[in-house]
Every structure is written in C-alpha cells, then in structure tokens.
Amino acid sequence: MARDSKTPTSKSGTTAVSLSVNGVDRKLVVGQHESIADVLRDRLDLRGTKIGCNSGECGACTVLLDGVAVCSCVTLAATVSESSVVTVEGLAREGELQELQQAFMEHGAFQCGFCTSGMLMSAYALLSQQRKPSDEAIRTALQGNICRCTGYVQILNAVRDAAARS
C-alpha cells in the first residue's frame, strides 16, 4: 500500500498527493509527518474522524483506505497518493443515514460519541466484505476500537442488526 518510493518529495520535505476523499478528488501538498487524520481534519475540515491516542491504539481515527479499515493517525498522507479514502462523512447518502448509522442510533450504541466514527468505519469495512458476519467476526473487526463509555454490547447488537437488515 505504501507508495513513498514512487511519490516525489520536494527539497522542502513536502509531497504532492492526489486522493479521492469520499468520492471527491483532492490534490494537496503535504508534509512528511502529516497523517491522513491531520489532512482530513485540518485541511479538508472533515472532523468526523477523531484523534484520540494519536498512536494507533484506540481506533477513533479509523477510515477506509482503498476499502481497508486503517488508523489514519499513523498513516502518513505522503505515502498514500492515488488512494481512495472514505470517512464517516462519506457514509450517508443524500441526507439519508447509512443503515449501520441508523442501527447505532436505534440501539443506543454511543454516549459521548468519540469512538463512534471509528466504530462505524471498522464495522462498515466488515459488512462490505461479509454481509452476514458471525458475532466472533464482528468482535474481531472491532477489536482495535476502544469505547470508554457505552460498553460493547449495544455496538455489537447494532452491527448485527445492520447486517440482518441488508
């Protein structure tokens, strides 16, 4: 996935990257240490992606990168040019919540909501691969996402229910 060997870096240490973000083509010049999370939040004003630990431990920053759930806080933007990024803002369509988002609401699968976008993106990646995952598969998909307030039962129920509706 890393493309740093192919992506030209200027003498100033910046790199021109092209990304598709929620289906919109974006061209940016990024610093060598800028993460995808930094770019999303600070450059593109997509603040649904949260930064918690900023070290790949909590999953709050999870986005889809070429369809795979990744921690955007530890993925350097300069290494992923020509990739497709989907964030939580990309889930709803024309004002309609994605069924997974609807299920989270109906099951009360969040309280403060800080973990929610990361949970949604990990679950969305799973359901994109497996329409009817087992509970074990759901737990495995979400094992990198930490919630400090809701508890995991409602989250598991929401993902299971969203899968059942599809």
Which of the stretches 76-84, 85-93, 108-116, 124-132 binds ligand FES when contact is defined by CB under 6 A? Answer: 108-116
Residue 113 binding ligand FES, by CB under 6 A: yes
Name the minimum Å distance from CB 12 to ligand FES. Answer: 27
Q: Is 147 in the site for ligand FES (CB under 6 A)?
A: yes
User: What letter does residue 9 receive in the DSSP assignment?
Assistant: B
Cα 40 to Cα 30, 118, 122: the distances in Å are 11, 14, 17
Helices vs. strands in the chain: H and E counts, helices first: 5, 5
Q: Does 103 contact ligand FES by CB under 6 A?
A: no
57 binds ligand FES, rule: CB under 6 A: yes
DSSP 75-113: SBGGG-TTEEEE-GGGTSBTTBPPHHHHHHHHTT--SS-
The answer to whether 56 contacts ligand FES (rule: CB under 6 A) is: yes
Query: Which H/E stretch holds residue 28?
Result: strand 24-31
| Residue with Cβ nearer ligand FES (31 or 56) | 56
Is residue 124 near ligand FES by the rule CB under 6 A? no
| Of residues 29 and 53, the one with the C-beta less far from ligand FES | 53
- The nearer residue to ligand FES, 22 or 110, going by C-beta atoms, is 110
Cβ 77 to ligand FES, closest distance in Å? 14
> Can you tell me the distance from the alpha carbon of 156 to that of 166, in angstroms, rounded to the nearest whole number?
16
Q: What is residue 121's three-state secondary structure?
A: helix
Judged by the rule CB under 6 A, the positions of this chain that interact with ligand FES are 51-54, 56-61, 71, 73, 110-116, 147-150
